[in-house]
Amino acid sequence: MQLLVTGGCGFIGSNFIRTMLTRHEGLTLVNLDKLTYAGNRQSLADVETTYGGKRYFFAQGDIANSELVLHLFEEHAIEAVVNFAAESHVDRSIADASPFVATNVAGTQRLLDAARQFGVKRFVHISTDEVYGTLGTQGKFSEETPLAPNSPYSASKAGADMLVRAAHETYGMDTVITRCSNNYGPYQFPEKLIPLMFSRAVADEALPVYGDGLNVRDWIYVLDHCRGVELALLQGRSGEVYNFGGNAEKPNIEVVRTILAALGKPESLIRFVTDRPGHDRRYAMHGKVAIWRVVSVWP
The residues that are catalytic are 129-130, 153
- Are 64 and 103 contacting, i.e. CB atoms less than 8 angstroms apart? yes
Distances (CA, A) of 233 to 169, 175, 183, 241: 19, 9, 19, 12
CA atoms of 204 and 169, how far apart (whole Å): 53
Can you tell me whether residue 146 is helix, strand or coil? coil
- Are 108 and 83 contacting, i.e. CB atoms less than 8 angstroms apart? yes
Closest CA to 291 of 185, 220, 240, 216: 220
CA atoms of 285 and 143, how far apart (whole Å): 9
Which own/partner contact pairs does 49-54 have at CB distance under 8 Å and 24+ positions apart?
A: 50/21, 51/21
DSSP state of 294: P
Closest CA to 56 of 122, 116, 110, 8: 8
Determine the residue type at 84: F
Closest CA to 105 of 66, 45, 159: 159
Angle, to 10 degrees, between the axis of helix 152-171 and the axis of helix 108-117? 20
CA atoms of 25 and 125, how far apart (whole Å): 23
